[in-house]
């Protein structure tokens, strides 16, 4: 059963140097026509796979808030039309760049059911912001978060990054201190990963990208966990921290290996036991929706073996880990029967541990998560 919906707005006014998400420059793009295609895809999707247990909606990008207020209104009407009825506890998140949101846009979002804002802060160091291709500055973060609170938002998340070019442990500590001063409910913090087809990738290949050492990156992550705990944030996933009760329901849908819609160019869905990939290029996406009703370019039926692999690969990202009893209920087989060798190997390395009903990462394992996850791909 579908638990979540992700909707992708691929337009940006500036392309960040590290970003490999599906995105295009806003100028000259058929934005209105794209929103109509999203409306049509959404309508066809909910008819094909009715959302009986929808708990969370997430609008990401790109930069969703580059839409004009008129475009935002049309888009939000479409979401409300096809993803209702919604229970009152539904989480509805909108990604935003600091500095992009006017009071009118924020009021429109709130009045349209959006109850959670996720700001892409990344760092509070203005020099670093410029170096990574961000258009906002430190002052914009404080002004926009304050404005969101004034309008009535009570669930605000900020994204931070570490291991950025020339970033020091001290400068990351300053960003954490400033993030805490915002008094928000949720923080996501990710280390920089250099992806192909990005500005940073090209600079790295030319030897022009000065990155922190692995030791400094590990020190930043250690600092992150300690500071979050010291300020009352619960680490519920490798890179995510929240006040009690403010965990991201949307992200947990992925890590719990549950089904979700993916609407928009380049989006991915997991519905009816199938993983589906949408066309990425805007024109191809729109053309497929117009001619076939769906923009699918790849559909893969997930077999039981893959589902069990994904249960571990995704579930071990959660700090609580993977429930042995839930695994049995879901698949009708003991987790130890399927993965006994992998579990024992990772326990012997000190990367996994068993705690009551759960198999979870150790403190050491949090630093080597990708190595642990890969071990469960049979």
pLDDT, tens digit (0-9, with 9 covering 90-100), for 314-336 = 999 999 999 999 999 999 999 99
Cβ(352)–Cβ(365) under 8 Å?
yes
Among the residue ranges 19-33, 37-51, 274-288, 313-327, the one predicted with the least confidence is 19-33
Q: How confident is the model at residue 134 (pLDDT cuts 50, 70, 90)?
A: confident
Question: d(Cα 241, Cα 238) in Å, to the nearest integer?
Answer: 9
**Given a cut of 60, is residue 61 above it in pLDDT?**
yes
Find the distance separating the first CA and the last CA of the chain, reported in whole Å.
Answer: 26
- Residue extent(s) of CATH 3.80.30.20 domains in the chain: 2-254
Question: d(Cα 186, Cα 22) in Å, to the nearest integer?
Answer: 25
**Given a cut of 70, is residue 200 above it in pLDDT?**
no
pLDDT in tens, 328-367: 999 999 999 999 999 999 999 999 999 999 999 999 999 9
**Given a cut of 70, is residue 110 above it in pLDDT?**
yes
Which pLDDT value is given to residue 130? 87
The dihedral through the CA atoms of 235, 89, 68, 261 has a sign that is positive
Torsion, CA 206, CA 212, CA 218, CA 221, rounded to 10: -100
Cβ(313)–Cβ(327) under 8 Å?
no
State both tokens at 61: 């990008």
Q: How confident is the model at residue 28 (pLDDT cuts 50, 70, 90)?
A: confident
The helix (run of H) or strand (run of E) holding residue 117 is strand 116-122
Count how many Cα atoms sit within 13 Å of the Cα of residue 343 in the half-sphere of its side chain: 19
Which pLDDT value is given to residue 376? 92
Question: d(Cα 105, Cα 300) in Å, to the nearest integer?
Answer: 38
Q: For residue 33, how far is the Cα from the chain centroid? A: 26
State both tokens at 271: 């519905």
The dihedral through the CA atoms of 197, 198, 203, 204 has a sign that is negative
Nearest partner of 128 among 171, 96, 64, judged by Cα: 171
Average pLDDT over residues 292-316: 96
Please confirm whether the linkage preceding 173 is cis (ω < 30° from 0): no
E strand spans, 264-374 = 268-271, 274-278, 296-301, 322-323, 352-355, 358-361
Nearest partner of 36 among 287, 262, 267, 279, judged by Cα: 287
Cβ(7)–Cβ(58) under 8 Å?
yes
State both tokens at 287: 């053309």
Question: d(Cα 3, Cα 202) in Å, to the nearest integer?
Answer: 38
**Given a cut of 70, is residue 305 above it in pLDDT?**
yes
Mean residue pLDDT across the chain: 92
The string over 48-87, giving b where at least 16 C-beta atoms fall within 10 Å of a residue's C-beta and e elsewhere, is ebebeebbbbbbbbbbbbbbeeebbeebbebbeebbeebe
Name which residue leads in pLDDT, 215 or 207: 215
Which pLDDT value is given to residue 336? 93
**Given a cut of 80, is residue 135 above it in pLDDT?**
yes
Which pLDDT value is given to residue 196? 78
Q: What is the CA radius of gyration of the chain?
A: 21
**Share above pLDDT 70 across residues of the chain, in percent, rounded to a whole number:** 93
Task: Based on DSSP, count helices (H) and strands (E) in the chain, helices before strands.
Answer: 15, 17
**Given a cut of 80, is residue 197 above it in pLDDT?**
no
Average pLDDT over residues 242-261: 96
**Given a cut of 60, is residue 17 above it in pLDDT?**
no
Cβ(122)–Cβ(159) under 8 Å?
yes
Question: d(Cα 202, Cα 208) in Å, to the nearest integer?
Answer: 9
Which pLDDT value is given to residue 23? 59
Among the residue ranges 75-89, 195-209, 297-311, the one predicted with the least confidence is 195-209
Q: What's the CATH number for 2-254?
A: 3.80.30.20
**Given a cut of 90, is residue 16 above it in pLDDT?**
no
Among the residue ranges 32-36, 124-128, 272-276, 346-350, the one predicted with the least confidence is 124-128
pLDDT in tens, 30-41: 999 999 999 999
Strands 24-25 and 11-12: parallel
Question: d(Cα 236, Cα 364) in Å, to the nearest integer?
Answer: 16
Which pLDDT value is given to residue 193? 76
Question: d(Cα 89, Cα 67) in Å, to the nearest integer?
Answer: 27
**Given a cut of 80, is residue 270 above it in pLDDT?**
yes
**Given a cut of 80, is residue 189 above it in pLDDT?**
yes
């Amino acid at each position: 059963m579908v638990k979540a919906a992700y909707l992708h707005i691929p337009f940006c006014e500036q392309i960040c140097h590290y970003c490999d998400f599906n995105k295009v420059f806003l100028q000259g793009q058929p934005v209105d026509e794209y929103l109509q295609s999203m409306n049509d895809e959404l309508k066809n999707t909910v008819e094909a796979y009715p959302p009986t247990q929808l708990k969370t909606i997430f609008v990401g990008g790109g930069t969703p808030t580059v839409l004009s207020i008129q475009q935002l209104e049309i888009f939000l009407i479409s979401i409300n039309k096809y993803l209702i009825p919604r229970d009152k506890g539904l989480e509805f998140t909108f990604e935003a760049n600091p500095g992009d949101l006017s009071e009118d846009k924020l009021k429109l979002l709130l009045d349209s059911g959006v109850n959670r804002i996720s700001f892409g802060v990344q760092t509070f160091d203005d020099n670093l912001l410029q170096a990574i291709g961000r258009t906002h500055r430190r002052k914009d973060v404080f002004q926009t978060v304050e404005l969101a609170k004034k309008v009535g938002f009570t669930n605000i998340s900020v994204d931070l990054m570490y291991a950025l070019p020339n970033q020091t442990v001290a400068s990351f500590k300053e960003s954490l201190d400033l993030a805490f001063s915002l008094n928000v409910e949720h923080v996501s913090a990710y280390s920089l990963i250099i992806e192909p087809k990005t500005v940073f990738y090209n600079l790295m290949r030319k030897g022009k990208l000065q990155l922190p050492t692995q030791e400094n990156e590990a020190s930043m992550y250690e600092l992150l966990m300690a500071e979050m705990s010291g300020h009352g944030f619960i680490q519920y996933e490798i890179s995510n921290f929240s006040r009690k009760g403010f965990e991201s329901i949307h992200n947990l849908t992925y890590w719990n290996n549950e089904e979700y819609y993916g609407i928009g160019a380049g989006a991915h869905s997991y519905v009816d036991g199938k993983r589906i990939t949408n066309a990425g290029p805007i024109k191809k996406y729109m053309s497929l929706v117009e001619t076939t009703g769906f923009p699918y370019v790849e559909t893969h039926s997930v077999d039981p073996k893959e589902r069990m692999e994904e249960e571990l690969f995704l579930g071990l990202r959660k700090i609580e880990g993977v429930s042995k009893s839930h695994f049995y209920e879901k698949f009708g087989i003991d987790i130890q029967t399927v993965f006994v060798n992998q579990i024992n190997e990772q326990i012997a390395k000190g990367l996994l541990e068993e705690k009551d009903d759960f198999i979870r990462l150790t403190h050491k394992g949090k630093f080597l998560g990708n190595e642990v996850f890969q071990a469960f791909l049979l």
